[in-house]
Structure 1
Amino acid sequence: MLMPMVELRTLHGTTQILEADRLLRRVWNTKAGEDPPLAVDLMCAFAHTGGYVGGALLDGVLVGVASGFLAAGGGLHSHVAGVAPEMQGRGIGQAIKAHQRSWAASRGLTFVSWTFDPLVRRNAHLNLTRLGARVSQYVPDFYGPLTDGINDGDASDRLFVHWPVSPVAAAPLPLDPPVVIVSSAGVVRPPDGAAVLHCGTPSDISHLRREDPAEARRWRAVVRDALGGALASGYRISAFTKDGFYVLERAA
């Protein structure tokens, strides 16, 4: 649970934006010569022109940052969000998302959107299970090559999600559906009429990128083909399991 002394607020001014930049660089482990997660000038522009730059502070110390801009269709697109490594897993990321949603609602916006790497389990669990965001599409290599300290050497495939400002209840799964397991061992094509699919993810893609880049690339290719292919053929993601599987059901 989030500790009560954490303060959530919007950030303004060069001093606060530079502090946000330092935190994001630390979260991404950005080294000299690598691109920052989000340029300082863009964060300054977002904050000054009606976009969103928000922070979470613990006893006055910035421990989480998110930034985004207004999106077509009346929403807020959250482009970058990060939590200090030592504070991850304590509910701060979820609290920042709730702050974004409240910020959007106060301005008459109807949704918050963002992207996340489908291979990162903790993000999938937060976005789909805890927040209840809904995946609208799988986008291969969404940002092109990235040199930000986290995604180096990997394709930037992303799931694009929408989170309604007013919560919408998810439709229940069909009872006793046939199941097809899709994992790194290979892609299993769904039989005609399969109601539900499961698509596996690696336990720690960040570790794989560092220690076994070839295996990380294999996971990328398999999940792109399996998860992206299922979404393109009419399935939708309805859940993410504790052991790291996307659950997909055929859309009505």
Structure 2
Amino acid sequence: MKGKVFFVLLFLMMNSYIGSAQQSMSDYSYIQVPETFEFLKGKDQHQVNSLTKFLFNKYGFNAYFENELPNVRKCDGLYAVVEGQPGFIYTRITVIVKDCNGVELFRSQEGKSKFKEYKKAYHQAVRRAFESFEELGVQQKEINLDDSSSTATTKNSEPVSEEITNTTSKEIVAAKGNMPTAKFSSYTYQGSSFLLRKTAAGYTLSQEVTGADELVLVGKLTMLKDGVQYTDSMGSMHEAFFDSDKNLSIKLPAGTKKFVLVKN
């Protein structure tokens, strides 16, 4: 009888903790991800930092690297810490979320991998650690800009192609307004997840391949004077466009593919 009571109390405590973490982290408008983790030797080594940022976005956070952050208040955001421990048998990863005062709000389960290749091991372990975030249902609110500063420019804004800037075409101006402005945007197509990354020339489109535990580049989007051009990994070029909801459509010989924007 005592054992049953213990498990019931444990279950209630866990549900209360998850609900509290969800509400608390949803009250913030962004999370900052380091570009370098202490257990790695260099900036975004093995693309672990990029994967971490991608997964935070996937699970309802507005994730930024420090140099991408708009003009925001420090305590409006959260701060990610990733602890890693490579080992002879297992590579272990734990993801921690803290507030601006260093108070720990959430600690993930330990993600483990037996892969011997560093990149595969880290990627699999990170993904397994992030399984803890899936059940939280975090939905961070729209990012709040700090109006106390006289500058309205943001760190993550990038120059748009001069061809588009100088054009007077109403159609191109409208298309420009439909384009995602975030550094990273998550999309889905037929149940698969994709990451759209903003660049100076346009965007890159990568697919989240769960079995391979990595992001695979599938194509690039270039902003032209008369529209958007998609170039796939084989070099074939196709017409593309963003609709008013910022969904991406690519016109292929076999039909149009529509990638739906995942809204936080």
Larger radius of gyration, structure 1 or 2? 2
The TM-score with structure 2 as length reference comes to 0.26
Structure with greater strand percent = 2
